Amino acid sequence: MKITEILVWIFGLLAGVIIILAAISFISGIKIFGVNHVINLFHVANTFLLAAIGCTLYLYYLEIKSKKSN
């Protein structure tokens, strides 16, 4: 369970960094990592955010399951 909590933080931080990079790329007009269109960075960030949400829901499910068994 601790590993899943760490994964949530990692996925969330990666998504945040990618969103910041996309904003910088949009404002300055430079290509970051050779990405031509800024929307591609937001698609990648969306994937990391969905993974973080999925892990959070799984942790919530385990918590509810353990309360019901007691």
- The pLDDT assigned to 29 comes to 86
Q: Is the pLDDT of residue 70 over 80?
A: no
Cα torsion through 47, 53, 59, 64, rounded to 10: -140
Contact between 41 and 23 (Cβ < 8 Å): no
Name the residue range of residue 60's domain. Answer: 2-69
Total structural domains within the chain? 1
Q: What does the DSSP 8-state code read for residue 11?
A: H
Q: Which range (3-7, 36-40, 48-52) has the least confidence?
A: 36-40
Q: Encoding tokens for residue 69?
A: 């068994």
Mean pLDDT calculated for residue range 29-34? 83
Mean pLDDT calculated for residue range 13-23? 93
* Predicted TM-score of the model (pTM): 0.80
- The pLDDT assigned to 48 comes to 94
